[in-house]
Chain A
Amino acid sequence: GENVEQHPSTLSVQEGDSAVIKCTYSDSASNYFPWYKQELGKRPQLIIDIRSNVGEKKDQRIAVTLNKTAKHFSLHITETQPEDSAVYFCAASSNDMRFGAGTRLTVKP
């Protein structure tokens, strides 16, 4: 089955800086790559996703890039704000959605 690795496990940035989280996957059949944000005590919620026929996608301060050849994809958050502090999960799916271990992002005011 699919194996998703996520780095770093923790990330601390100053407000206004950028944050980058990276993931790799193993199954070349995976064609859907979502990113989820989980705030303390809440369920994970989708923030952005990308499909294998697209190399990059942007939504305001959030962007995701996908390199199918290298089997890695990244989340970029620009102009970080304290409310971006949360645990972020990447996932890869071809019907069996597997998640990375998560990145705890802390944005310091």
Chain B
Amino acid sequence: DVKVTQSSRYLVKRTGEKVFLECVQDMDHENMFWYRQDPGLGLRLIYFSYDVKMKEKGDIPEGYSVSREKKERFSLILESASTNQTSMYLCASSLWIRGRTGWDTEAFFGQGTRLTVV
């Protein structure tokens, strides 16, 4: 069974704090993703990474950064937390099948971190 584990289920942080959300997967997946989930907005891609030390901006990267020093770990960093970053954060990983064009595969999700910024 693929396991994607997020370090915290619930977090409460103060405005201006630097916040680290950690995600670890145990299936040697190349791709890792960070999404935030808000009612009516679905899953919005913040950042993704297709290899160690590689990162790509998603649709809403402002106010966030990421780190992927090891293949199994992908960290999301809120440089200075603000109340509009209160949300559910979901990490996911997927296997990339190499080929002429390459194929993505099923993304497995972590259990989510509900972050509240006060």
The yes or no verdict on A and B being binding partners is yes
Q: Which residues of A contact B35 (CB under 8 A)?
A: 99
Closest to B44 in A: A99
Q: Given A34-B106, A43-B110, A96-B58, is A101 in contact with B40 using a C-beta cutoff of 8 Å?
A: yes
Q: How many residues of A contact B (CB 8 A)?
A: 24
Contact indicator B103/A101 (Cβ below 8 Å): no
Contacts A1-B59, A44-B43, A102-B42: A97 and B109 contacting too (C-beta < 8 A)?
Answer: no
Cβ contact within 8 Å between B111 and A43: yes
- Taking residues whose C-beta sits less than 8 angstroms from the other chain, chain B's interface range is 20 to 34
Complex contacts, B45 vs chain A, CB 8 Å: 1, 96-99
Interface residues of B in 16-55 (CB under 8 A from A): 31, 33, 35, 40-45, 48, 50
What is the interface of chain A, defined by CB distance below 8 A to chain B? 1, 6, 9, 31-32, 34, 43-46, 49, 51, 89, 91, 93-102
Q: Are A101 and B105 closer than 8 Å at their CB atoms?
A: no
Given contacts A32-B104, A43-B109, A43-B112, contact A96 B56 (CB under 8 A): yes
